[in-house]
Structure formats: C-alpha cells, structure tokens
Amino acid sequence: MPINPNVISSLILAVTGIIVFYKYYKLLSFYNRFLWGIFSLSIALNALTELLALVVPDALDTFPELTLACERTLGAVAVVSASWCVVMRYEAGKFLLFCTIGLGLLLFYCIVMYKVQFMGLIIQPFCIIVSLLISCIGLATKQKSSLWIIFSMMLLALASKSRDIPIPMDPIDISRYLMLLSVLCFGYAIRDQYKILF
C-alpha cells in the first residue's frame, strides 16, 4: 500500500517545528520563549492533527479545523510580537505576553464561535505584513535577524498561496514544505539576533 505524501509532509513539518523550537529556545529570554513557542508549536500542532486526521480519518472530526484556526489567529498574533522582540532586542514581559495571548484567543474564539473561518485568511496575511514592516525597521539598523524574518514571512505568505505555484506537486505538500522553511528561517533569526548584517 503506497504512503500518502501528505502524511510524510505533515510528519516532517510537525517534527521540524518541535526540533527548531527546542534548538533555539535557549537563546531567548523567558517570556520571549512563550511567544516564539506559540508560533512554532501552533504550526507543529496543526501539522500533527492533520497527520492524525489522514491516518485515522474518523477519529478527529473538527479538531484539525480548530488547530488551523488557532494557527491563523493565535500563532499569527504571536509571530508579530515575537518578531518585534527579536528585531528590537526587546525582552517581553507579562503584559506583552498576556496581551498577545488574549488578542489571539479573542480572534480564535470569534472565528470558531461565529463560524467565520475565512477571517483567518485575512488575519494571518495582515500579521505577516506587520511582521515584514517590523523587519524593515530592523534592516535599517543592519540586523541580520531582520533579513531572516523577511525570508520567513515571505515563505509563510507563499505557503498560503501554494495552489497558485506551478510545481508538479500536491499544493498541500508545497504549503507544508514552505512552512517548514519558514519555521527554519525564524529559528535562524533567533540564532542571529545580535549579529550585524554587513
């Protein structure tokens, strides 16, 4: 019996998201770890639930939809805060962490309770644009981490438009591999947080 390629790409994305988080989380301060973890682990959790939905189709009914909504709301808001902290070399406190989680959960609640899943397709690109603007500020000060965040956000934006990429491959797999590269680039941004571009 052939293996579904969606299973392989979901597994690779889930494992990579967890590994990248654990490899680079030591380089961040305590609250910045939570912000970075929300972004990275929401992607990994979504990939893991999609993997389980592919392997055991009847076991999970709406859980993949919930994790996708969480990734597009809570994960997207967290990436804005995490980008700010990395680019501005800002140590997040309780206030920023709780505001980020509160706003993300409020958006998640609104999407799930009012059944407006398409709003996630608006919230995530908006957060990508805000993160790109934050990175442009960092590029003005020649920070190498800003360049990695720009690559990460570009790959994340491409992942959301994977159906339009003319590659002879399943668009779901293209999306997952682009998200994998996005998570790796964000990990490199954390690694190069205090390095100058040139």
- Is there a contact between 25 and 36 (Cβ–Cβ < 8 Å)? yes
Q: How much is the pLDDT for 59?
A: 65
- Domain segments of the chain: what residues? 5-191
Q: How much is the pLDDT for 102?
A: 96
| Mean pLDDT computed over every residue of the chain | 89
Q: How confident is the model at residue 7 (pLDDT cuts 50, 70, 90)?
A: confident
Q: How much is the pLDDT for 184?
A: 93
Q: How much is the pLDDT for 1?
A: 55
Instruction: Show Cβ contacts of residue 123 under 8 Å, excluding neighbours closer than 6 positions.
Output: 72, 73, 76, 77, 107
- Is there a contact between 80 and 134 (Cβ–Cβ < 8 Å)? yes
What confidence tens digit (pLDDT) does each residue in 84-115 have? 999 988 888 999 999 999 999 999 999 999 88
Q: Which one, of 145, 175, 139, 136, lies nearest residue 157 by Cα?
A: 175
Q: Give the whole-angstrom CA distance, residue 43 versus residue 37.
A: 10
Q: How much is the pLDDT for 120?
A: 82
CA dihedral 53, 54, 56, 60 (to 10 degrees): 10
